[in-house]
Structure 1
């Protein structure tokens, strides 16, 4: 009996300070494809990681408690989910992120045909890269009506304004 109490006292602190692991996979709600390179973290803690190419993640060294799991990725709505950690590793069900829709303010449409303008083509490439981003998800996006975009470029400030 005495040895049992000694063993119990030795292992109690280890059980109280056990480090938990949270694992999951994140996909797009529209096509169910894995989302890579998104940020995942537990707010009010120092625990965070990036999603792998297959959309999976692992958060290690999580302590017991209640957390707000936050997943963010460009092109998707941020996700917040309450997590309760109580001594066991957690395998969450697959999470699906919603695509984020960006609305343009003002669109001015001009009629008539345009001659080939190499500066304009360059401006469209710059605009697309800056507006959509440079991620794998952005590479799958396309501006369907680039002909309605108008550009003003100020060489003195090296700034481009698009409407």
Structure 2
């Protein structure tokens, strides 16, 4: 499945290194009454730093890894608040005023329990994943998810008004996710989502902690975060990555995806097996005519500096074909183009929707909806996510 990687693009900001861990303190109040707001969630999005305000609205985040973060404040009845904070060796003091959020009537969707279960099962599959790690993930509050399915476009939409809490027993994290928007479109084979997330370390015995460390390394190595950090350190070969230029042209013999599914459903309902087989054969046609240039790309071919400290630009013509030589995909389960003379390594294909994608020192893309991942990286759902402050 093609995976429109939108979540990472929204929640992270560039990190700039300093010498010592920092501290953030502050007070949260209502902008209209100036009254302190207790029990508000305060956290650095996509990281492991978070807390709740005291009754007088004050909070403290200690031992924060130096860098720039997106600080988020959330409490029921008020609009979510976020601001960029640069953490160094000097404590930061913040004054945060929240705007009341009027209760709005949502669209009423009449659905059966069976429909909700089916939609929720699809959401879990597309959001958390189907990997071995996903089998060890448990959603604590499933009914926090608002689900709407649009049959005519085969699109599932989801959101949450509170944190969706997922215990990832594979990696040892409790993940709290505010899902602003989730969309899974089966006609286009694309998944998009955006929101804010807080990682919390689970408690475990010595054996569990050791296993979680190994599983986190397994999730990290070969990931898009690992790749972008390797680009910045100009150590692609040492880390096991090879980049190539991939040229794609639409295959004129293959009908559009929408038409393929429409015809299949039409003839399947009428039990016309000959027509079903014909349209199945048409669907087996490759989407693209693809040419892979054999000369590996160098870092200087794709990396550009920007005028913003800690931000870099990734740019390339057509598509970027990334091979990770320390991981195998013997059965080509990701269904990506692979030359016959290439080893069975994990492959990811990157498509840009703009001239470039901005990313930070942590190896996280920060420009909204700028990249589309296919292949190995498209499989990295919530079950494989590690926080932005993770280092192996």
Assess if the C-alpha contact under 8 Å between 2:25 and 2:60 holds in 1: yes
CA distance in 2, matches of 1:104, 1:90: 38
1:57 corresponds to which of 56, 59, 62 = 59
Distance in structure 2 (CA, Å) of the matches to 1:104 and 1:86: 43
Match of residue 46 from structure 2 = 44
CA shift at 1:105, angstroms? 6.0
Larger radius of gyration: 1
Aligned structure 1 segments of 4 or more residues deviating by more than 3 angstroms: none
Partner of 1:29: 31
Report the CA distance between 1:103 and its aligned residue: 2.4
Matched, 1:95 2:102: no
CA RMSD of aligned residues (A): 1.7
Distance 1:34 1:85 in 2: 24
Deviations 1:81-136 (A, max 9, x none): 000112211112x2110001122369xxxxxxxxxxxxxxxxxxxxxxxxxxxxxx
Distance 1:62 1:21 in 2: 6
- Report the Cα offset of residue 44 of structure 1: 2.2
Q: TM-score normalized by structure 2?
A: 0.22
After superposition, the Cα gap between the structure-2 partners of 1:30 and 1:87, relative to the gap in structure 1 and judged at 3 Å, is same
Q: Quick one: structure 1 residues 80 and 105, their matched pair in 2 at CA, closer, same or farther if it must change by over 3 Å?
A: closer
Q: What per-residue deviation string (whole Å, max 9, x for no partner) do you get for residues 65-94 of structure 1? A: 1100000000000001000112211112x2
TM-fit CA distance, 1:20? 1.0
Give the length in aligned residue pairs.
90
Name the CA distance, whole Å, in 2 between partners of 1:75 and 1:65: 31
CA distance in 1, matches of 2:97, 2:106: 29
Flag structure 1 segments of 5+ consecutive residues without an equivalent: 1-14, 107-163
What SS does structure 2 have at the residue aligned with 1:82? Answer: strand
Secondary structure class of the residue paired with 2:100: coil
C-alpha deviation, 1:25, in angstroms: 0.2
The 5 Å alignment of 1:1-163 reads 16=19, 18-92=20-94, 94-104=95-105
How far apart, in 2, do the equivalents of 1:104 and 1:20 lie?
A: 42
Q: Deviations over 1:1-23 (max 9, x none)?
A: xxxxxxxxxxxxxx82x221100
Structure 2: stretches of 5+ with no match in the other structure = 1-17, 108-392
SS in 1 for 2:24: strand
Deviation per residue, 1:23-48 (Å, 9 max, x gap): 00000011000000010000121000
